[in-house]
Amino acid sequence: MEAGVNNLALSLQVTPSEDVIWRNLQGESVLLDMKSGVYFGLDAVGTRIWTLLQSQHDLRAVLEELLREYDVSEEKCSRDLIDLVNAMAEKGLVQTAAH
C-alpha cells in the first residue's frame, strides 16, 4: 500500500525505486531518476541513508544503524531520517509501504 507522505513513520518499509540509478562521488551521491531525467544530490549522511536503504528497507533498522554510527540524539536522527525519506518519497525516489 502506498503510504501518505505526511503519515510516514518509522514503522514503514522504504524501498528505493527501480527507476533510480545512483553513483557515489567522494562520499556524496548523485541520483538519477530515469523516468524524469532529473538529478538529485545527497550529502554524506544522505548517501549513508540511501546506501543502507539498498539492503535494509525497515526504517527503524536504518535508524538504529545511524544511531550506532553517528553521535546524534535519537529524536533528531529520527526526525531528519523521516524528513529525508518524506522528501525522497515526494520525488518518487523511494516507495513506502506499511509493514
Q: Which residues bind another protein (CB under 8 A)?
A: 21, 23, 25-26, 28, 30, 32, 34-35, 37-39, 41
HSE-up (13 A, CA, CB side) for residue 11: 4
Question: Residue 41 or 83: which CB sits closer to another protein?
Answer: 41
Alpha-helical regions (H) of the chain: 44-55, 59-69, 74-90
Q: How far is the CB of 17 from another protein (least distance, A)?
A: 12
Q: How far is the CB of 75 from another protein (least distance, A)?
A: 27
Residues 6+ apart with CB under 8 A from 33: 17, 19, 20, 39, 40, 91, 92, 93
Question: Residue 55 or 73: which CB sits closer to another protein?
Answer: 55
Q: How far is the CB of 76 from another protein (least distance, A)?
A: 23
